[in-house]
Amino acid sequence: MQYRTYGKTGLQVSALGFGAMRLPARADGTCDYEQSIPMLRRGIDLGLNYIDTAWGYINGTSEIAVGKAIKPYDREKLIIATKIPSNDIGGKEWRERLETQLRRFDMDYIDVLHNHGLTWEGLAPRPRRRGVAEGGAAGAIRGPHPSPRLLLPRHP
């Protein structure tokens, strides 16, 4: 597997990542863990270390599948990315969603957190910026944004 530096973060990510949006699902719309977990583990065994998911993928159960799949591996060698839909929430709700995601993954931290569908209008409110800063300061987000100033540019 080839690895590349992820921007200015210093994180070394596999050239191929595993997108967990389209993992196998059951008829009820939740993730089929019996099929999904072996798929994720096979990717890791082949050298993938970057796994991407999001709050709403497979009705929130994609994050659970990823968390279950990575349990037997050295967590420090994996880079787990997820997303929070951010335009309609304030800082308190943002932080609550982050805590929910950590419980779904059954992890203490997320490596890379993206704001899903963020617009300039959604970016401006300061309460959300505080939520991002608190998440990073509490160690719940490892990178790539150690400072909310890097994550949240000034509104034009």
Residues tagged active-site: 57
Residue 114 has phi, psi (to 5 degrees) of: -105, 145
Planar angle of CA 108, 115, 17, nearest 5 degrees: 70
Count CB-CB contacts under 10 A for residue 131. Answer: 24
Name the residue among 65, 66, 80 with its Cα closest to residue 33: 65
